[in-house]
Amino acid sequence: MHCPFCRADETRVIDSRPNAAGTEVRRRRVCDRCGRRFTTVERWERRSVQVVKKDGRREPFDRAKIVRGVRTACEKRPVAEAEIERLVDEVEAEVREGGEREIPSRAIGDAVMRRLRDLDEVAYVRFASVYRQFGDLERFYEELRRLGVGGNGAPSGGGSASPPT
């Protein structure tokens, strides 16, 4: 491994930590020449999975897209980065362990939503509003009612979850 600072090829591993899913290892390294430290991530090579989009297009599975979507949904919410990483690890494991070479994008979105619902309801609704592309306010309220936000559509916080009449 070359040092990213001085390009020397003599570096040593000083610490290794696997992630919870066991799919990657973070290694802290130190350069023998300049003494600077850096981190590398080692992942096992995976079989390629193609995601089938709604319009029929196919593209390679991209973990980074899921991370971006979940981070956006969790923005300004009390959700730790480690919880986001764990959620994405679980979704990725589900996709890859399914053994299929192709998977519909809807299956990935559903897997994210199941986990987000348990993690943070606001993040879940944010993600659902983009993922399900609510066409009107009534579909949005319908999702809130399905979530069980409150009795007769009223959110727990007191306001009305029903559209104004």
Q: What percent of the chain is predicted at pLDDT more than 70?
A: 86
Taking each helix axis from N to C end, the angle separating 121-131 and 105-119, rounded to the nearest 10 degrees, works out to 160
Tokens of 18: 């696997």
CA 18, 23, 25, 26 torsion: positive or negative? negative
Tokens 């959110």 belong to which residue?
155
Q: Beta strand pairing status for 24-31 and 37-43? A: antiparallel
pLDDT surpasses 80 at 47: no
Model pLDDT, residue 149: 59
Judged on CB neighbours under 10 Å (0-12, 13-18, 19+), 123 is buried
Judged on CB neighbours under 10 Å (0-12, 13-18, 19+), 87 is buried
pLDDT surpasses 70 at 105: yes
Name the range with the highest mean pLDDT among 35-49, 99-113, 145-159. 99-113
pLDDT surpasses 60 at 89: yes
Tokens of 146: 């399905």
